[in-house]
Structure formats: C-alpha cells, structure tokens
Amino acid sequence: MNTRLQVEHPVTEEITGVDLVEWQLRVASGEPIPLKQEELSINGHAIEARLYAEDPNGGFLPSTGRLDHFDLGTEGRIETGVEEGDIISPFYDPMVAKLVVWGESRSEAIDQLADIAESVEIWPVKTNAAFIANCLRDADFDGANLDTGFIAAKIETLVSSDEAGDAIWQSAADFVALADAKQHEGLPIGLRLNAPSVLGATLHHRGETRYISAARATTAADATGFVDPKHAVVFAGGQSFVFERQSRGSGAAAAGDGAILAPMPGKVIAVDVADGDTVTAGQRLMVLEAMKMEHALTAPFDGTVTDLNASEGGQVQVEAVLCVVEPNLK
C-alpha cells in the first residue's frame, strides 16, 4: 500500500470538489474522514500534465539552470514550487509544475490544457510544454484511441521542431524593433535625414544571420517574447526560440569526431575505461546521472580512449569533453 497522496491527486480533487490535503491533516489530528463514500460524487472531467525541465528535441534529457524568465499564465490550476530566478538543479526530479484543468467534457478539458501548455513561457531552461500540447491536440488522444505505443508511434509529430520558421524570425524582429523604438523615445532605428525611416533587426539563430524589417502583420500568431541587450526570445506553441541581436560567430570550436561530450549536466556514477584502453563501437564508456535518470555514453566507433577527463563521483557540465576516442586507422 502506498499511503501518500499521489502526484495526480488534483484530478480527484477537481472532479469531486474535496481537498484531500485538508482531509489528510484532519484525519492525522484525530478527526473522522469528513465524508462517507456514498456522499461523494464525480462531476465533469479533469486532466493533469507534468511540466518537466527536459528537452524533447534532445531525447528528453534533463535541462537545468536558472529560470531567467518564468511565466505559466493565470489559467487553470497551476501547482509549482519554483518562481522566476530559481535554479533547476540536476539533483531532483525534473518536474517544474503540474498543469491541471477541469471541463464539462473530456474535449473541453483537453482544449483548455493544450492552450495552457502552448502559452508556457520558460527560458533558458527547456521544457516539454510543446510536447504536451502536441499530445493533447492529436486526434487519437482526443478520441481516447490510446495504448502504450502512442508516443513511440507518433514521436515525429509529437516533438516540435526547435528551428525557427519565418514567422518566428519576423516576431523576433518585431519585438526588437519595438523595444528599440521605445528606448529611443519613439524614433525608429536607422533614421536618416535623406532616407525613409527603417525599423528592423539583424538577428542570429542557429548559425544563420538575417536582417529583417519590422512588419507586424506577418508576426507568428499568438507569439509572445521579450528583448534584452543581447537576445530576443520568442515564445510560441510552448517553445522558446532564442536569437542573438547580432552575429557573433559560432563561439568555441566544436569538438572533433570521437570527442565524447556530456549531453547534460550531472554526476558521473561509473567510468568503465581508462586512458589507452581499446574499445569497440557501442561499448559503454561511462554513465551520467541527473534528475533520477541514467545516461550511458558509448564509443562511436572502434578506437583507443585518450584524454579521459571524467572520474567516478565527479560533477560535469553540459557539453564538457569527457574523453576522446581516437579511431583505429587501417
């Protein structure tokens, strides 16, 4: 018997109108259970989703860091223990919040929850908000045509692309132009005495740089966002799209083939190799742990281990080079 309240207890509360936490406290203090079974009734439909700090585009690996921007809106029932400025660490469960809704019908509840998931604004920590919304919008989910293979069968449509489309680029330019205009007391950026005024922005996103003139008519529907001196962040469909306000190049040089990078920040709980060891493709090299998840790192090809920088019990940051596998040359 598991005698604690489950994470899903808000669903029971929403359809019965009772406060199970209050009941727990009353019973623990010696009072009788407030209602008998026959006095309870079920009304309507409730759905709950777990908003997780994880990256669906990165194999659902945990995402950690500071919540520089955190807004879950005001609709529905939101239960969370964090706020803007808090840190999502690798040491605990990755759940950020519970999103709960009630509706007269199943379809009404589904629509409400999808709307809430699509309006989530969290940055720079990544979440599964868009994945939740895509699940809810799926016709088979709405029709309760479900089995345990639902996600695996539809993963390509349930995980949204994290590459910005033209409308998202336009939204970012619009936000930047508006912010710059306000900063300059309404004077458009690029104003010249002998030329028409121009509002626009030069933006850099995932290796691409564009100059885009502001044209709010083509902004992505329901897109929101904010601008700081270095970035423009656009929120749409539960995802965040980050643009640098000027091209800065690619930053640090990328690790070459054979470099084993940490896919997430976490703790090294096992190291199976040493410098100089010969390994085969697919052989486990080490294991990382974060947020109750274990992730095995394997050799990409046959080769020799060099530059081993990880040790059991050590903490590593995302994209840290843990070791290098030098390919066997034939």
* pLDDT of res. 296: 87
Asked if 316 and 310 touch (Cβ cutoff 8 Å), the reply is yes
Catalytic residue status for 4:
yes
pLDDT at 195 over 70: no
Hey, what are 160's tokens? 């949204």
pLDDT tens track for 160-182: 998 999 999 999 988 888 877 66
Strand partners, 304: 278, 326
User: What single-letter amino acid sits at 325?
Assistant: V
pLDDT, mean over the chain: 86
Q: Which of 4, 192, 206, 210 is catalytic?
A: 4
Among 14-18, 40-44, 51-55, 209-213, which is the least confidently predicted range?
Answer: 209-213
Q: Which residues of 318-328 are buried (b: 16+ CB within 10 A; e: fewer)?
A: beeebbbbeee
Q: SS3 for 235? A: strand
Asked if 20 and 9 touch (Cβ cutoff 8 Å), the reply is yes
pTM: 0.75
DSSP state for residue 192 in the 8-state scheme:
B
Burial class (CB in 10 A: 0-12, 13-18, 19+), 253: exposed
State the Cα–Cα distance between residues 75 and 298, nearest whole angstrom. 44
CA angle 132, 233, 183 (to 5 degrees): 150
